[in-house]
Amino acid sequence: MILITSAAGQTGTRIIRLLVARGAAVRGFVQSEASADKVRALGAQAFRGDLRDAQALGDAMRGVERLYHIAPTLSFREHEMGRGVVDAAVRAGLRHFVLHGVMAPYLQNINYHFAKELIQWDLYRSGLPYTVMLPTNYMQNVNWTWPTIVERGEWQLPYDPERRLTWVDLDDLAEAAANVLTEPDHAYGTYELCGSNSFLSRVEIARLMSNALGREVRAVKVPVEAYLDACRRMPFFSRMRTEELDQIRAMFTDYDEYGMPAGNAKVLSMLLGRPASSYAQFLQRLAEAWRKGAGAGGSALTHYGLPSLD
Ligand SMILES: NC(=O)c1ccc[n+]([C@@H]2O[C@H](COP(=O)([O-])OP(=O)(O)OC[C@H]3O[C@@H](n4cnc5c(N)ncnc54)[C@H](OP(=O)(O)O)[C@@H]3O)[C@@H](O)[C@H]2O)c1
């Protein structure tokens, strides 16, 4: 049995789908009944609980051999939750703990990065066989601004369009996670994960978007406060605390100054047994899904919502 936390999110659902297709028994740790339904519809068991509840974590880990821990997006309790999951895994005697971390977890100025570094320390000291996945920015994050890109030919984000970051296709990442959970010999590995030729500026990606869409797309920098206001109006972010949303400002401030010069596609390609997808390949798929009318609900896209500064 494999337990996945934050199972109903965009990462968890993709991993569950692949594991179930391989015949693995999967249990999804979720909070709400709606999420439990989502997980059951994928062919997994659902366990409802709060990641801060030690008793619930212990109950969810009964009969479990392997675990994939994903922290909820931007939670300020991320380290507390992660430490609780590690402690429960030790008590339950799990054979393999896989942590969904983040590229450059050592960025102390961004809480959701450094919380993952702290959980890595907890795992290191736990005595558990572990693997750490360090994915860079999901290519699928472009969904946040996709309608403005398609309709206005503008990619609006609050950081310098010339700064380069690395990117990963979430579908590749899910496949690599499923491999790590079902293959032997991944214990004590820490894997930085990014796509092929993916160290790109938004100016370079906008050129790829122009090719994929057959219309000119320009990458523009918008004021960070206006961007945050737009986020606050979206259902996904509106329930977050001020400190949680502040992480978005910290993240874009860091990108604006340094980009994200971290990650190399060799690791993900090794885990997949084929070259990791490039941003150009992802965009071709996305543009095709959009043309077929899949729109914002399409499976190539994320579910966060669609902030627009209009
Ligand atoms: N986006 C990126 O580019 C990127 C890149 C690298 C790493 N990451 C990391 O990936 C993780 C997010 O993955 P995701 O986007 O797949 O997640 P997500 O879609 O935001 O899913 C979050 C899930 O967490 C559950 N949840 C929230 N609070 C909970 C609690 N107290 N107890 C139990 N469950 C709770 C929610 O369940 P309910 O619906 O039942 O409430 C929700 O389904 C984050 O740690 C992020 O830092 C993201």
Residue 42 DSSP symbol: T
Q: Which domains does the chain show, CATH number per domain?
A: 2-135 (3.40.50.720), 139-165+197-261+278-297 (3.90.25.10)
CA end-to-end span of the chain: 47
Distance 175 CA to ligand 1 centre (A): 18
pLDDT category, 160, cuts 50, 70, 90? very high
How does pLDDT run across 194-239, given as a tens digit for each residue? 999 999 999 999 999 999 999 999 999 999 999 999 888 888 888 8
Tell me how far the alpha carbon of residue 301 lies from the centroid of ligand 1, in angstroms: 15
302 with 236: CB under 8 angstroms? Answer: no
Q: Which of 32, 73, 83 should be mutated for ligand 1, with most atoms under 8 A from CB? A: 73
The pTM of the full predicted model, rounded to 2 decimals, is 0.94
Does 265 sit in the ligand 1 pocket, CB within 6 Å? no
Asked if residue 57 lies in contact with residue 84, where contact means CB atoms within 8 angstroms, the answer is yes
* Kind of pairing between the strands at 26-30 and 66-69: unpaired
Q: Contact 105/114 with Cβ under 8 angstroms?
A: yes
- Residue 50, ligand 1, Cβ within 6 A: yes
Query: What are 252-307's pLDDT values in tens digits?
Result: 999 999 999 999 999 999 999 999 999 999 999 988 888 877 554 443 344 433 33
Own/partner pairs, 30-34, CB within 8 angstroms, 24+ separation: 30/6, 32/8, 34/8
